[in-house]
Amino acid sequence: MKELVVLSGKGGTGKTSLTAAFASIAKDSVLCDADVDAADLHLLMNPKVEKRTDFMGGNIAIIDADKCSVCGQCEERCRFDAVHLDDEGEKYTIDEIDCEGCGVCVDFCPEGAIDFPEKKCGEWFISSTRFGAMVHARLGIAEENSGKLVTLVRQEARKLAEANGRELIITDGPPGVGCPVIASVGGATALLIVTEPTVSGIHDMQRVVELAAYFKVPCMVCINKYDLNADQAEAIEVFAQENGVPVVGRVPFDKQFTESMVIGETIMEFCKNNGLGTTVKQIWETIGKHL
Q: Where in the chain is the domain with CATH 3.40.50.300?
A: 2-57+122-290
Is 237 exposed, middle or buried (CB count within 10 Å of its CB: 0-12, 13-18, 19+)?
Answer: middle
User: 110-154, pLDDT tens digit by residue?
Assistant: 999 999 999 899 999 999 999 999 999 999 887 877 899 999 999
Beta bridge partners of 191: 5, 219
- DSSP code, position 88: T
Predicted pLDDT of residue 47: 96
Q: What is the pLDDT of residue 27?
A: 80
81-103 mean pLDDT: 92
User: How many Å apart are CA 196 and CA 8, to the nearest integer?
Assistant: 9
Q: Residue 77 pLDDT > 80, yes or no?
A: yes
pLDDT of 184: 96
The class that CATH gives domain 2-57+122-290 is alpha beta
Indicate if the pLDDT at residue 169 is higher than 80.
yes
Of 162, 136, 183, 167, residue with least CA distance to 288: 167
Residue 255: exposed, middle, or buried by beta-carbon count in 10 A (0-12, 13-18, 19+)?
Answer: exposed
In single-letter form, the type of residue at position 81 comes to D
Q: At 58, is the pLDDT very low, low, confident or very high (cuts 50, 70, 90)?
A: confident
State residue 220's pLDDT score: 98
Lowest mean pLDDT among 66-75, 217-226, 273-282: 273-282
pLDDT of residue 28: 85
> What integer pLDDT is reported at residue 275 of this predicted model?
83
User: Which whole number is the average pLDDT over 18-36?
Assistant: 94
Residue among 236, 234, 231, 235 nearest 221 (CA): 236
Calculate what percentage of the chain has a pLDDT beyond 70.
99
Please report the pLDDT score of residue 89 as a whole number. Answer: 87
In this prediction, residue 57 carries a pLDDT of: 84
Rounded to two decimals, the pTM is: 0.90
Minimum mean pLDDT range among 56-70, 167-181, 260-274: 260-274
Determine what percent of the chain is predicted with pLDDT higher than 90: 88
Q: How far is CA 180 from CA 34, 68, 87, 124, 148, in A?
A: 8, 38, 41, 15, 8
CATH T-level fold of 61-116: Alpha-Beta Plaits (3.30.70)
CA distance 194 to 249: 10
- Is the model's pLDDT at 241 over the cut of 80? yes
Q: What is the CB neighbour count within 10 angstroms for residue 84? A: 14
| Higher pLDDT, residue 274 or 201 | 201
Average pLDDT over residues 279-284: 95
Least confident span in 4-18, 44-58, 139-153: 139-153
